[in-house]
């Protein structure tokens, strides 16, 4: 691990949704690899756990356009990679949905990502950077959470078109993790059961997100169980 770190180019990463879940796991992994990390999340800096990695962390409310703009203008100087993990969702069908939650989920999972991509373009292009959008396998359809599935499909379609637009300037990758053991499913209202134990471990998903962003071709990568199992022997060797 040490030798690898020394050989690898050290970069500046921006990670959103860094206070918990996949975002937090990505931050930990990047710190372990020695990269400079700027993190944002919903939680205030003081309410983070004591063992939180020592990074430049800012609380940003992604539903506020002005907060996103201010954050990019004030905090981001030189950026090689952006990994947008922030997302939210409710595990419920249309009969239990409510209009204000529809607006909220779209604004976090889609509109905020558009604002971030728009604001970060200049900084990423200046360093020939890469933009990673973290979606979900629900982007194909999810009868149990149609609004969440729609926002993740929107992110996928946006990423596909943007990758074609920016192809020679900023690489765009959409990374779709399968069910991950982050606690999001429970917070979203899905009851914990035996399946929860079988979900992908966040650290492994974080690894695959970071690697997937460096992929040479194909805008989309699904972080599936199969891919996780295939990587297990590789991890053991390392």
Partner 1 sequence: MTRVLITGGAKGLGQACVRTALTDGCHVTVLDADANGLTQLPAGVSAIYADLADAAELRSAINRLSASEPFDIVIMNAGINATGPFETLPVERQAKLIAVNLTAPMALTTALIQADKIARDGRLVFVSSLSHFVSYPGASTYAGTKDGLTIFARSLRRPLRRSLGIRVQVVAPGPMDTDHATEHSPSPDDRRARVAPAFVADAIWRNRSGFLIVPGMAANGVSILGRLLPGVAGRIMRRMIFEKLQVRTPVQDTHSAREQSSLHALHPDQFLTEEP
For residue 185, what are its two tokens? 């499913």
* Residue 183 near residue 138 (C-beta atoms within 8 A): no
CB of 71 to partner 1, least distance (A): 14
Residues that contact partner 1, how many (by CB under 8 A): 49
Nearer to partner 1, 1 or 143 (CB): 143
The DSSP annotation for 178-206 comes to: -SBSSSHHHHTTPPP-HHHHHSBPHHHHH
- Residue list 67-106, contact with partner 1 (CB under 8 A): 93-95, 97-99, 102-103, 106
Q: Using CA atoms, how far apart are residues 51 and 92, in angstroms rounded to an integer?
A: 33
Figure out which of the listed residues 10, 32, 164, 230 binds partner 1, where binding follows CB under 8 A.
164
Q: Using CA atoms, how far apart are residues 183 and 193, in angstroms rounded to an integer?
A: 12
Q: Using CA atoms, how far apart are residues 68 and 76, in angstroms rounded to an integer?
A: 11
Q: Using CA atoms, how far apart are residues 11 and 27, in angstroms rounded to an integer?
A: 13
Is residue 11 a contact residue for partner 1 (CB under 8 A)? no
Is residue 119 a contact residue for partner 1 (CB under 8 A)? yes
Is residue 158 a contact residue for partner 1 (CB under 8 A)? yes
Nearer to partner 1, 52 or 121 (CB): 121
Figure out which of the listed residues 26, 85, 147, 200 binds partner 1, where binding follows CB under 8 A.
147
Is residue 168 a contact residue for partner 1 (CB under 8 A)? yes
Q: Which residues bind partner 1 (CB under 8 A)?
A: 65, 93-95, 97-99, 102-103, 106-107, 110-111, 114-115, 117-119, 121-122, 125, 139-143, 145-147, 149-162, 164-169
């Amino acid at each position: 691990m040490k030798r690898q770190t020394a050989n690898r180019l050290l970069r500046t990463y921006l990670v959103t949704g860094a206070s918990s879940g996949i975002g937090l796991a990505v931050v930990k992994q990047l710190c372990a690899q020695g990269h400079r990390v700027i993190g944002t999340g919903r939680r205030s800096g003081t309410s983070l756990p004591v063992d939180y990695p020592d990074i430049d962390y800012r609380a940003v409310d992604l539903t506020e356009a002005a907060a996103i703009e201010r954050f990019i203008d004030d905090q981001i100087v030189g950026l090689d990679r952006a990994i947008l993990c922030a997302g939210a969702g409710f595990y419920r069908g249309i009969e239990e949905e409510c209009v204000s939650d529809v607006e909220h989920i779209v604004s976090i999972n889609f509109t905020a990502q558009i604002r971030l991509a728009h604001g970060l373009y200049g900084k990423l292009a200046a360093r020939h950077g890469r933009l990673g959008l973290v979606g979900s396998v629900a982007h194909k359809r999810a009868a149990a959470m149609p609004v969440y599935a729609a926002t993740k499909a929107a992110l996928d379609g946006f990423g596909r078109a943007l990758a074609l637009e920016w192809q020679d300037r900023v690489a765009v990758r959409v990374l779709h993790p399968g069910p991950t053991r982050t606690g999001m499913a429970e917070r979203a209202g899905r009851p914990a059961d035996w399946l929860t134990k079988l979900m992908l471990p966040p650290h492994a998903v974080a690894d695959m997100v970071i690697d997937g962003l460096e992929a040479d071709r194909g805008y989309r990568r699904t972080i599936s169980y199969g891919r996780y199992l295939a990587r297990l022997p590789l991890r053991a060797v390392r």
